[in-house]
Structures are given as C-alpha cells and as structure tokens.
Amino acid sequence: MAPCSCSEQIRRLSQQVAVMRKEMKNLRQHLESAVRAHRKHMASLQSELEACRQGKHEMKKTAEKDPQRGAEFSLEKGHIQTVPIGYISSCFSKKNGTPRQPAVCMSSRAALQIQPSVFNNPDHALAGLEHYSHVWLIFLFHKNGHMSYKAKVKPPRLNGQKVGVYSTRSPHRPNAIGLSLAKLESITGDTLHLSGVDLIAGTPVLDIKPYIPDYDSPSAQTNMSVQYETTEDAGDSEPEGLQCLGDSSSELDPKMRFSASGGLSEHSGSVFSEVLAEVRDYLQQGALCVETLADRRPSEPEPEPESQRASRLCYGADSYSSVAAWIRNPPAAELSVRFTPTAEEELREFQPPESTDAGRPKFQFLKGPDEAAAAVRGILSADPRSVYRRTRCSDRLFYFSLDTADVTCWFGDGFAEVLRVRPVQTQECLS
C-alpha cells in the first residue's frame, strides 16, 4: 500500500507544480504587458514635458528677442494678460441696488478715466469718440466674491427658474467678463462721462468700443445686405466696400454685387428691380407675420404657462432679431414705486454736484433730486431683490445706496415704498 500512496502523492504534487507554472507564466505575461504600457505612458509624458519645455523656452526666447512676437505667441495659445484701461467711478457703491441692466435706470451716472499707465497721452486714445452717442464697455465683474460658476443659473427675473448661463447676463460665468452699453454724455480730456450704467464703483474696464447701430443691430445688418447694385463690368475683383452675401449671391447673377453702402445703381436692370421688390415683399410679409409686443399684449387674455413662456421666441420692435420671451415678459412682475412724504422731503434736500450750499447734502454724480427719484424708481420697479430674498425672507426692508444717498424701502405686494433717503455715512466707497 505504501509505495502506491507515495506515487499518488508525487503525481498530485507534479500536477500542482504544473498549475503553479502556468499561473507564473500568466503572471509574467501580465506583468510584462503592464510594464510595456507603463513605459509607453512614461515615454509620452516625457515627450509632452519636453514639448512643454521647448514651448516655454521658445516663448521665453521669442519674448526676450521680440516682445511683440512673444505676446502673439501667448495670444495664439489663448493667454492674454488683461490690463484695465481704467476704473469706473459710479453712483453705485455696492452690488445691492445696482441696476441689472443699463436700461433699467437711464439716469444712473458714472465716469471713466483712462489710466495714464496704458497710454502716455490717454486723451489721444479718445479722439473721435465724441461723435458717438453710446459706447460698449467691456469690464470685469471684480466683485463676484468667488470665482465659481455653474452651467445653469437662476436669473432673478425668472423667479427661480433655471436657464443656461450663456443665455443670460449673469455675472457668474467662466471669465467674469461683462458687457454694458452706456450713454456717452461727454468727454473731458482723458475722462468719459457716462449715464445709464449698471456698474459699481471700482469696476475695472478692459475695453471701450463705440456703439455703431449699422454694425451692432441685426436690422441694420439685414438692411445692408439687401441693398445691392449691378455693374456692367464688375470683373473678378470685388470693388472696395462691396460685400457678397456668401455663396447664394453667386447663384443669382455673377454681375450682381451686394453693396454695404449704396442702393440700386442707375444701371439696374428690371430683373433686379423685380428681385428687390420680391425681397421687400418677403421682408414685409415676415414683419407682418411676426408678432410684435404691441400687437400681442391687448389680445392676450391668459398668462402663458411657464414652460412655453421660457421657450417661445418673442420679436420686438425690429423683426430681424429674437429674444427669449422672459426678457420682455418676465414672470417676475414689475413693481409700482412710491415715496413716503418724509422720504420725498429728504430727497429734495439733496443738491446737484455744483452746488455751493455747504449746509445740505450734495450728489456727486446725479444732477439733482428729480434725476435721483427717476433712478430710484427705475431700480425698484425692476425688483432688485434676489429670488431668495423675494420668496423666503420675511424681512421686507431693503437698503441700497445711490450716489451719496442711503435709501431705505420696503416691499409689499406689487409695490415698493421708499421710507428714507439719508446722506451716506461714509464716502470712501464712492471712488
């Protein structure tokens, strides 16, 4: 019996050894492939690092040799170093109570002085701007408090509903850049005097551009593109100032050219008059089909469901652009605004900036109590409270500062009432 059990044991052991060998082989293969993958990964990291070093070195070398080219290199990579061209001085010292858009409060005022560190002669940079009535201001939301942002936001006018950040003018966005259209009241030397602003004092401005309705308004763009002229010998080259409307224009007639400046030329053939008439008819029909606000309001008995309201497009005064319906018909209602007799008296005490009456409070920007009253009405009628404050807070008092006045008010159903208008305690915020 004993020899038999011994050979059995040997057989079992050799079986186990075979299994272990197989496992070892698998393990080795596995390890080898892991090492290969790891090496490959290391090699790609190495080359990335090398490329990075090379790029940086290249950038440094280029920047040292040619600062202009160095800057270009950065621009191409999407890195720009922004330098504020100036800082806003404004009648709003805090975010609270600052209009949500310039149109909310046309009487708000501000000034912008161009930094002497940007231009040796800052006033030279403004030459010619006096011919424009409005300017675009591109600025940083420097008082956002935190740099976080979300893909969906709740604009106050939408009463808690969410929309994509890029369909709003929310300050909380990647690259906290704002854009406001302001009225250019005047320019004195290196300083722009503005009205209709929604910016707080100290806002860093990155750029100014003139507002040019011919470029910035879609209705003008459409008008420009339907004006065309014909030339007998237009040739291949595009005459200066003429623009083609993309590929579709070539389908009509090679001699037909769309003009940015002129109407129909003397040489227009009847075929072009017909086309023009057709285009006009088409546009007119479009304009008639499009529902304007004026058309819609009286015949709209029922408020629309929220879901439809948010998605339906709404056309305004011009029929060439469209905006989300909530912009013009927000679910958050406009409020009526009133002053208590005391608040009205207190406001009347304020003097215009040029006043020499030392015994009474004086505005720094606003032209007087009437302009201030108009600003307060604009700000409050748009309900400046956050949705949280509006819906969750039992405290109905609201404070904000406007120029050199501290304003206290309270909100009731459908109205805001101004209770107090006192001179601000500190002036340091209004820089």
Ligand X SMILES: C[S@@+](CC[C@H](N)C(=O)[O-])C[C@H]1O[C@@H](n2cnc3c(N)ncnc32)[C@H](O)[C@@H]1O
Q: Could you give the dihedral angle defined by the CA atoms of residues 243, 246, 249 and 255, in that order, rounded to the nearest 10 degrees?
A: 40
Residue closer to ligand X (CB basis): 386 or 391: 386
- Residue span binding ligand X (CB under 6 A) among the ranges 140-148, 327-335, 390-398, 417-425: 140-148
Q: Is 178 in the site for ligand X (CB under 6 A)?
A: yes
Q: Is 169 in the site for ligand X (CB under 6 A)?
A: yes
Closest CA to 408 of 97, 64, 185, 1: 97
Distances, alpha carbon 37 to alpha carbons 8, 23, 30, 49, in Å? 44, 21, 11, 18
User: Hey, how many other C-beta atoms are within 10 angstroms of the C-beta on 36?
Assistant: 10
- Residue span binding ligand X (CB under 6 A) among the ranges 18-26, 115-123, 178-186, 261-269: 178-186
Tell me the three state secondary structure of residue 140: strand
Six token digits for residue 291: 């529902």
**Sign of the torsion angle spanned by Cα atoms 72, 74, 77, 83:** negative
Q: Is 326 in the site for ligand X (CB under 6 A)?
A: no
Q: Is 156 in the site for ligand X (CB under 6 A)?
A: no
Q: Is 343 in the site for ligand X (CB under 6 A)?
A: no
**Residue among 105, 111, 158, 199 that touches ligand X (CB under 6 A):** 199
Six token digits for residue 83: 């330098």
DSSP string, 191-246: EEEEES----TTPEEEEEEE--HHHH-HHHHHHHHH-EEE-TT--SSPPTTB---S
**Residue among 171, 196, 361, 378 that touches ligand X (CB under 6 A):** 171
CA distance 173 to 177: 8
**Residue among 107, 108, 195, 203 that touches ligand X (CB under 6 A):** 203
- Residue span binding ligand X (CB under 6 A) among the ranges 114-122, 142-150, 223-231, 275-283: 142-150
Site string for ligand X, 286-325 (x = CB under 6 A): ----------------------------------------
* Backbone torsions φ then ψ of 153, nearest 5 degrees: -130, 170
**Residue among 20, 37, 83, 179 that touches ligand X (CB under 6 A):** 179
**Residue among 107, 180, 230, 319 that touches ligand X (CB under 6 A):** 180
Site string for ligand X, 88-107 (x = CB under 6 A): -------x--xxxx------
CB of 56 to ligand X, least distance (A): 33
CB of 343 to ligand X, least distance (A): 22
Tell me the three state secondary structure of residue 3: helix
Q: Is 183 in the site for ligand X (CB under 6 A)?
A: no
* Interface residue list for ligand X (CB under 6 A): 95, 98-101, 141-144, 169, 171, 178-180, 198-200, 203
